[in-house]
Structure 1
């Protein structure tokens, strides 16, 4: 399942929802089949829509811990893929690497950090909502100009 497929599932789920996505839908979107076993770095990169270099970088800076097989190749299990799905979505939405590093440190420290993680995610949600509002305004301005030039706008 590639990132494009994940995005198709997400967009389909959005179309089926009357409000915000439910937690259950989000779980389904990031669900990785345990039967798939481990993936190589190339397979993981393809699945996530990022480069192998990005995955090595995320490992080097401590965002994900990836075990090695007997010959030293990285092996991405379901847990690593789930974490990377989250990390890549957060990066796509503009979360800074240093904030992701802090978040991962908090996760690794355990349940005592849930409040701080929640606060980080609430702040990020507000930022994303602001970006969406700004993009919506930009889209409206673009649609206006398209109409001005006699083009057809989208519903």
Structure 2
């Protein structure tokens, strides 16, 4: 079991973020006899997934919905699958946009490099 500080450091996020996730019911850490939060390996794995979802622009409200569906049980499997497939499509669109922008930037960079060489 890990403290909130240890968990935050392991994940590269702040303790404030962990408290926020708890407030939003995205995670429910265990509590020790003193009432301090404790995170186990399962919590860490879940939080790693949540962080990746956030990094790929999934809104907190959607992550919260996914977490609630998970807690409801196996009868929500189709809903969770649908939510993740929708997000995957969004990521694939992001990738295509990034590829297009990268190509545009490459052309601009080459143009400027050639222009600078010609000026010398």
Q: TM-score, normalised by structure 2?
A: 0.90
Give 3-state SS (helix, strand or coil) of 1:150's partner. Answer: helix
- Aligned partner of 1:116 in structure 2 is 79
- Aligned partner of 2:112 in structure 1 is 149
Which structure has more helix as a fraction of its residues? 2
- Aligned partner of 2:102 in structure 1 is 139
State the Cα distance separating 1:137 from its structure 2 match.
0.9
* Number of residue-to-residue matches in the alignment: 114
The runs of 5 or more residues in structure 2 that have no matched partner are 115-120
The runs of 5 or more residues in structure 1 that have no matched partner are 1-37
1:125 alignment partner, one of 60, 81, 88: 88
2:22 alignment partner, one of 47, 54, 59: 59
- Aligned partner of 1:73 in structure 2 is 36
State the Cα distance separating 1:136 from its structure 2 match.
1.0
Q: TM-score, normalised by structure 1?
A: 0.70
Greater RCO, 1 or 2 (C-alpha within 8 Å, sep 6+):
2
1:97 pairs with 2:74: no
Larger radius of gyration: 2
